[in-house]
Structure 1
Amino acid sequence: MNFKKLSKLTRARYLSSLMSLMIMFCSVGIIFVNGFNWGLDFTGGVVTEVKLDSNIKAAQISELLALHSDQDVSVISAGEAGRWVLRYSQVNAESSTSITDVLAPLTHNLEVLNSSIVGPQIGQELAEQGGLALLVAMLCILGYLSFRFEWRLASGALLALFHDVAFVLAFFALTQMEFNLTVLAAVLAILGYSLNDSIIIADRIRELLTSKPKMAIEAVCSRAVQATFSRTMVTSGTTLITVSALWIMGGGPLESFSIAMFLGILIGTFSSISIGTCLPELLKVNSEHYKVEPICDAP
């Protein structure tokens, strides 16, 4: 093994860890300062299914709805020509009559098939349950990692997870893209994906600490990254290709989900290599923590 190569890799890990910490603190600040542009799932609104002339386009409907709503509107094809599912805030469109008036410039041949209202109280409950889901997921991951690995390795993986979630949430807070249940589902998926990379590297660190107890921890972490780097790049690269295809061809309804997943995979790969290895090293993890204790046969 080339010692100089490992030294360069160690310096790269330290530099990337500093960058990750800066990103994490900036992300938390952006979230607190900007807040989120909550979608209708959380703030309440109206979901209406209508049938119009088949020659009317989604852009025409969106333009008219945007003039009568203070939030982003969503126009989704219902699978049949001229049939649309409309999602908009409950400001000037509280009934089927008002939506008829709004879309009157397009056509008078409009039929409201069904309409449902999501109240603010339900939206607040969804927001609370979403936050609770994130908290429970993080606690379950912490419990699993502490059982599967020594707590020092577990802490690195957990901080990397927090870093990834904070970055994705900060992106939506900074751009003020609509934050809805689809984005929340993407954030929960990011937790699982990022955890996978962290576990692979942590498992390699544990193997090296057991098989080479006299090796310096800096060299152990660098060698673990080196051994898993190609595998990480292949898995992350293929997943990014899939998410990119979903982003490009999935249309508006899947755009926010695809963007969140794309950013989460990128930053998750980065943080698993940086924070996921440097924090255990900082906490002085060593081979003694994985030393097998002999079982006494005496009664």
Structure 2
Amino acid sequence: MKNINRLTKWRHLSSLISVIIVILSLAIISVKGFNWGLDFTGGVVAEVTMSPKITASEIQPLMNAASKQDVSVISAGEPGRWVIRYGLPDSVKSIDSTDSNSAVLDVKQVLSPLDNNVKLINSSVVGPQVGQELAEQGGLALLIAMLCILGYLSYRFEWRLAAGSLCALVHDVIFVLAFFSLSQMEFNLTVLAALLAILGYSLNDSIIIADRIREVLILRPKAKTVDVNNEAVVATFSRTMVTSGTTLMTVVALWIMGGEPLQGFSIAMFIGILVGTWSSISVGTVLPEKLGLLPAHYKVEAIPETP
């Protein structure tokens, strides 16, 4: 009995912490905003090959000085092959602007002090207008995913139980967005892809617990909702920990081995998995209680024999 009471107090305390986290996260996002990547702001991407002896720490100072901004230098996976990314000046308003050609640096000339045999494999320009379209399409994709999940939850569960799962998803997305806002890490398309993946993963955690709650409510119509929720958490806890643990191992391996191009994706997934496991218990079980979920809402009604 004491363990059950402790679990109830822990769940309610964790839900209070979640509310505070969401409020702080929204405040951080509104104040600091995001460090949008070149995918959204527009910029130049150039791929070059040069002597394998040259390192990124030698390339970056020359590119920073020439472009008068921080330039991203990423290994392309082969010795001596680099992907160089830098933003367009504020004066360049669109990819069709005549200023866009002048904004592209002569990378071969800039890097000539390091190597006279620099080869430019390809170079492409992404204008701010295209970046804005990507941002709008990404936001629309996130919205459509949330609406589809809302429709599924409404069909699968009673609205009080569905509301808990949906709010848990919103909680996870807001927390990850706040982390990137606070840390000012680059927010690019890979991070947006991670957010969509987090929605699916967190939904899985929430549905496992919600499905167990529904089963117990049907089997034990006289049970208290608090006791049912506690039983559901205990019954699914080991499965949730195993699933989250193995997934985290994969994400950590991707974080370590994937390098800088996948760093944002890996970090977002790592945080999302942890927060998703937390919210499925703190939000997914407590909110239905506060909304008045009862076994009567899942009471099976007999079909009358006479029409």
* Pairwise same-fold verdict (TM > 0.5): yes
The 1:46/1:268 distance shift into structure 2, 3 A limit, reads same
CA–CA separation in structure 2 for the residues paired with 1:69 and 1:270:
44
CA–CA separation in structure 2 for the residues paired with 1:138 and 1:25:
20
> 159, 165, 168: which one pairs with 2:167?
159
Give how far 1:158 is off: 0.7
The one-letter code of the counterpart of 2:225 is I
Residue 209 of structure 2: aligned partner: 201
> 172, 181, 204: which one pairs with 2:180?
172
> 5 Å matches for 1:185-264?
185-264=193-272
Deviations 1:56-78 (A, max 9, x none): 11232233333444665333333
Give how far 1:188 is off: 0.6
The 1:231/1:203 distance shift into structure 2, 3 A limit, reads same
Range with greater deviation from structure 2 (211-220 or 118-127): 211-220
The one-letter code of the counterpart of 1:201 is I
TM-score for the superposition, normalised by structure 2: 0.92
Deviations 1:255-295 (A, max 9, x none): 11111000001111011110110000001111111112222
Where does the alignment leave 5 or more consecutive residues of structure 2 unmatched? 90-99
Give how far 1:215 is off: 1.1
Residue 2 of structure 2: aligned partner: 4
Residue 273 of structure 1: aligned partner: 281
Where does the alignment leave 5 or more consecutive residues of structure 1 unmatched? none
Give how far 1:10 is off: 0.3
* CA root-mean-square deviation: 1.7
Residue 85 of structure 2: aligned partner: 87
Range with greater deviation from structure 2 (89-98 or 8-17): 89-98
CA–CA separation in structure 1 for the residues paired with 2:14 and 2:212:
20
> 5 Å matches for 1:36-47?
36-47=34-45
CA–CA separation in structure 1 for the residues paired with 2:9 and 2:122:
61
Give how far 1:93 is off: 8.7
Q: Count how many residue pairs are aligned between Structure 1 and Structure 2.
A: 297
C-alpha contact (below 8 Å) 1:72/1:178 kept by paired residues? no
Give how far 1:101 is off: 3.4
Deviations 1:178-204 (A, max 9, x none): 000000000110000001000000001
Residue 114 of structure 2: aligned partner: 106
1:19 aligns with 2:17: yes
Give how far 1:95 is off: 6.0
Residue 63 of structure 1: aligned partner: 61
